Structure 1
Amino acid sequence: MSTEFQQYSTENQKRVIAEFAVAEGLTVVATYEDAGKSGVSLKGRHALVQLLQDVQSPNRAFSVVLVYDVSRWGRFQDVDESAHYEYICRLAGVQVVYCAELFGWDSSPTAALMKAIKRSMAGEYSRELSRKVFIGQCRLAERGFWQGAAPGYGLQRVLVASDGTVKGPLRPKEHKSIKTDRVVVTPGEAHEVALVLRIYDWYVRQGLGCTRISQRLNAFGMCNAYGRPWTPQLVTSILSGEKYTGNNVYARTSRKLDANWRRNPRSEWARSVAAFPPLVDRRTFEAAEQIRTNRTQNLSDEEILKKLRDFVGSAEVVSAKKIDQTPSMPAGKTYCRRFGSMSIAYERVGYEPRYYRADPEASRASRAVLQRCIKRTTDALAARGHHVDVSLDGTTIRVDDELVIRFTVHLILHYDRRSPRWRARWPTYCAPDLLVVLRLDSALGTPLDFYVFPRGSLAPGHEFSLSIRSGSSGPFETFRYPDESILFELAARTRLEAYDGRQSSFPNHGYLGTPDSRDESTDPQQASKAGDDGEHRGGGIEEADYGEP
């Protein structure tokens, strides 16, 4: 990875290459640059991938590739990987020249030996740097500073200067910008702290399990820190998190370079006792830990595979979510941790899923479409004078602190050789006023249409299928619209007409009259018709046909 503070910044590299090209009488026709990308793997190196594709193209516009030095292919842990990419260029008839190396144009055996040595040095540099960074992070964690991402529900990150001055809390997805600053953890909002204490009380004193606790929280309409429903795994993470006692624990898991994550033994953990104010006292935490230990069943791989084999043979719907919801089954994460993924676990028991999900690229494309739609909607509403708030997960907006709209997008799924369909489900852990479902075309670029479901139109907890064919969704056609402009009409304010035929000149009052005349009306039916605040969503009431009192 090259940044402006490093010797190998992209601007320095391009300048050296340009000077080399002028000295050698070459013309630079294209530049391939992976700025700010890690060089330990090909993942994320889009420019390098494009270069290898262009090299093998018969219509390429160049015959020489200028590279700053050998390490610019990447600091791969396998030295043959960068050599392989250079060989691809030579095999296609494109010469590779190193501008900052002594053997620039040289292709002799001596130059080949020097390249192999430098490739090994590049890989060793990454390994050594990774080790030093990891040790530095462990030392900071032992001093009580937080390392890593979000601390969890009920906790918040606070930015402090090198002299200990508190600069303020860090919101989700925010990071420090000054190298000498540090991050500490403090108790979060009062309602989150109270909920953490309530979870421990339910578990330790009332004997509720993690599944029952998550169901109770979802029934109350409460969301986790990311605005999503609670799961037994999230409850378990709170009950097993030593951070809730004020201890800062780091390096329970680690990942070096591009290797897989591994669980470290306790002897390698970095720990700071009483690093920040506790949310839960030590006695309560130890009681919860003892209960978890007594309830935990240490099953072998064969035993949990047998449970999975029995489950797929008897269950109507097989998914990781259904596995988590079955009390007698190990958690889906257990299978992922033991065998690498749920797909491998399914393969081990001879089960083939009945539908195929879209690839990660399609999922990312659909999320991008969803975010663009939400941005267009919020910008248009703001331009119309509305106040719009967006939830932390970016999928729900609140208009004027009154109208809650949740957006969702669904990919094409194939079910047992039937025609592709979308699936819609009313969220059970929140109560939006409107649920907007985006249906995408096959290119995943432009929404095909929009379904706007008001509260009460879909039964909570039940999934409904929407066919690809336009006009084939039966009763749901009532809620289908070509674009999101219907939301602007639903969010608009319209004055109500009073029961005596006069229209209110105040948008905040549905009844126009003197205070005395208002007090004289004692008919509750008329009062309910006139409205309390005089504002209705969805176009309001154009004409009133109320009877005389």
Structure 2
Amino acid sequence: MHDPMTSECGEAGEKRGAMYVRMSTDHQKYSTENQADTIREYASRHGIRIVRIYEDAGKSGLSLEGRDALKRMIEDVQAGSPGFDVILVLDVTRWGRFQDADESAFHEYICRRAGIDVIYVAEQFENDGSPVSTIVKGVKRAMAGEYSRELSSKVFAGQCRLIELGYRQGGPAGFGLRRVLLDEQRNIKGLLKRGEHKSLQTDRVILMAGPDEEVEIVRWIYQSFTEEGLRESEIAARLNLRSICTDLGRPWTRGVVHGILTNEKYIGNNVFNRRSFKLKKRRVANGPEMWVRADGVFQAVVEPRYFYTAQGIIRERNRKFSDADMLDRLKALHERQGWLSGILIDDTDGMPSSAAYAYRFGGLVGAYRLIGYDPGRDLSFIDDNKHIRLMHPDVIAEVLMRIRGLGGAVRVEEGTDFLIVNDEIKASLVISRCGRNASGRNQWKIRFDAGLMPDITIVARLCANNRDILDYYLIPALDVEAPALRFADRNPLALEAYRFDELEPFFRLAERAELPVAA
């Protein structure tokens, strides 16, 4: 966000205005700068002095989520005495393309109720509350939402067409595969490295087999699973013993191996629309009848017979169970072992997966309760971890907005989620939950990734409720001597030197200032 207050002085009786500008992630006719110029011209003609600017750059107007500037503006209005009399917006679409037109009207009503008028400077109607303006606004809001729905349908249809033609639609290639860039005549232009994207609209991306050593490992995974009967966890353990890393440079896990065994791209198939997240609505998993696919369009890495044998093994292992059958098996496992855990469930033959129990009964704890099992320990950390996973992208988005608002350049590195600031600083954000040690005192644990050590690790410590952020530590890589750190309520001075109540010191690292030009 720009500097909220200007240094200009207004004449007596001059209205004070707040400017709201927004630009979506898609290609817009108006940039935030053009919107601001138009609004300033209108303000100058109507005797309004701009005293505050709220900017949402690169934010969709489909919902209020992620639009921190709009939310902050509404909060300022509701708090009373915001320091301005009117809000200036370019047009109805910049206020939002809400799928429910009433939501757009609601946010405007909050401002009007507080005595703050909303003016759409480029619209042909006066927003004066008259019947005509109310009707026109309603139509405009409905049209704005309908535009987004139509655009979504057109984009989806275009993606489906490209899938059927054999082109890749986003996402990393995966271990044993590489993304290859083609021109419009399908001539190979070169390999795309992780984090690289095509620069021309007419270029396309396909998948091809990667290095021979990676291809051989993928084939070994399939043969070990189908012929030797090894489980995914056993395959991961053997790969880690051989010091082989994944395509992300990380150790192998059961989930990574399972992903390779179940992805059709390894037999050359292009599958799309397994999951949907249209118009910022709830993310859903689609049934196979809704998948869009093109078979045999990529270079196959494994023989189809291995792939389909693996799918048969997995389906048999995860065949459908009734609720009663699942609970009977869980109870029998408890009686045999005397305890239960997600890892034990996944490692026991003949049992549905722990994910299946969590999905069917609203979490593993819910299944435990139904069979009368008490884990004997506090499992609130499960909800805490879920909250932290949801919280992480919001904190990242706030950091991105602040850095860009200060004139810095920042991007999220694909595959690592590191923040690359001004192409100079590589930072990692870690949210650390608050726990208790044996004496009942608060403690926080943080683990560093020694293989992918960033220049700075931002540690956000949570309060005791594990919902709110307590403070921040900015840990430079040069001072990381151990793979893990423990924090307490009071820490050694050498560690407290990196503690801050806010992230302003980090933002100052990204700030850019113009250098004076010598005469």
TM-score, normalisation: structure 1: 0.67
Gap change, CA 1:255 and 1:316, over 3 Å in 2: same
- Whether 1:260 and 2:282 are equivalent positions in the alignment is yes
Sort the Cα spacing of 1:179 and 1:245 in 2 relative to 1 into closer, same or farther, 3 A.
same
Which residue of 85, 91, 98 maps to 1:63? 85
Give the Å deviation of 1:182.
0.8
Q: Corresponding residue for 2:258?
A: 236
After TM superposition, list the pairs within 5 Å mapping 1:363-442 onto structure 2: 363=392, 393=416, 411-415=432-436, 418-423=440-445, 442=470
Alpha-carbon deviation of 1:394? 7.8
TM-superposition CA deviations, 1:332-370 (whole Å, max 9, x none): 5445655777788789889862444474587569999xx
8, 11, 18: which is aligned to 2:40? Answer: 18
Of structures 1 and 2, the one with the larger relative CO (CA 8 A, separation 6+) is: 2
Give the 3-state SS of the residue equivalent to 2:55 in structure 1.
coil
3-state SS in 2 of match to 1:139: helix
Assess if the C-alpha contact under 8 Å between 1:362 and 1:444 holds in 2: no
Q: Quote the residue 1:221 is aligned against.
A: 243
Written as runs of structure 1 = structure 2, the 5 A alignment for 1:113-512 is: 113-301=135-323, 304=326, 324=346, 330-334=352-356, 338=360, 353-355=379-381, 356-357=384-385, 359=388, 363=392, 393=416, 411-415=432-436, 418-423=440-445, 442-447=470-475, 452-453=481-482, 467-470=488-491
Give distance in 2, aligned partners of 1:40 and 1:339: 32
What 5-or-longer segments of structure 2 have no aligned partner? 1-22, 398-412, 419-427, 462-469, 499-519
Q: State the shift of 1:17 in Å.
A: 1.6
Cα distance, 1:423 vs. partner? Answer: 3.8
Structure 1 281/4 Cα, relative in aligned 2: closer, same or farther at 3 Å?
Answer: closer
Distance 1:123 1:349, change over 3 A: farther
> Secondary structure of 1:208's match?
coil
Q: Is the 8 A contact 1:354 1:415 kept in 2?
A: no
1:444 is paired with a residue of what secondary structure?
strand
TM-score (norm 2): 0.71
Name the amino acid aligned to 1:295.
R
SS of the counterpart of 2:150?
Answer: helix
Identity rate, percent: 39
Please name the residue that 2:421 is paired with.
Answer: none
Distance in 2 between the 1:175 and 1:218 partners? 31
SS of residue matched to 2:54: coil
1:195 to partner: Cα distance: 0.7
Shift of 1:185: 0.6
Deviations 1:446-504 (A, max 9, x none): 349966248xxxxxxxx997655446xxxxx9xx98899xxxxxxxxxxxxxxxxxxxx
1:143-176 C-alpha deviation (Å, 9 max, x unpaired): 0100121132211111122122322211222222
The equivalent residue for 2:410 is none
Q: Distance in 2 between matches of 1:346 and 1:71?
A: 49
| Distance in structure 1 (CA, Å) of the matches to 2:369 and 2:202 | 49
C-alpha RMSD of matched pairs (Å): 4.2
* 8 Å CA contact 1:422, 1:439 repeated in 2: no
Is the CA contact (8 Å cut-off) linking 1:39 and 1:73 kept in structure 2? yes
Aligned residue number for residue 503 of structure 2? none
Which structure is larger by alpha-carbon Rg, 1 or 2?
Answer: 1
* Separation of aligned partners in 2, 1:250 and 1:291: 24
Give the aligned residue type for 1:115: K
Structure 2 counterpart SS, 1:34 = strand
Instruction: Using the TM superposition, name which of 182-191 and 164-173 deviates more.
Output: 164-173
Q: Could you tell me whether the CA contact under 8 Å between 1:159 and 1:182 is conserved in 2?
A: yes
What SS does the corresponding residue of 1:288 show, helix, strand or coil?
A: helix
Contact 1:2 1:8 in 2 (8 A): no
Question: What displacement does 1:232 show?
Answer: 2.3
Which sections of structure 1, spanning at least 5 residues, go unmatched? Answer: 369-389, 396-406, 455-462, 472-476, 485-549
Q: CA deviation at 1:226?
A: 1.9
- How many residues are aligned here? 434
State how far apart, in whole Å, the 2-side matches of 1:305 and 1:75 are: 46
Secondary structure at 2:190 match in 1: strand
What residue number does 1:6 align with? 28
Tell me how far apart the structure 1 counterparts of residues 485 and 42 of structure 2 sit (CA, whole Å): 63
Residue 29 of structure 1 aligns to a residue whose secondary structure is strand
Once the two structures are TM-superposed, the CA of residue 197 in structure 1 deviates from its matched residue by 0.4
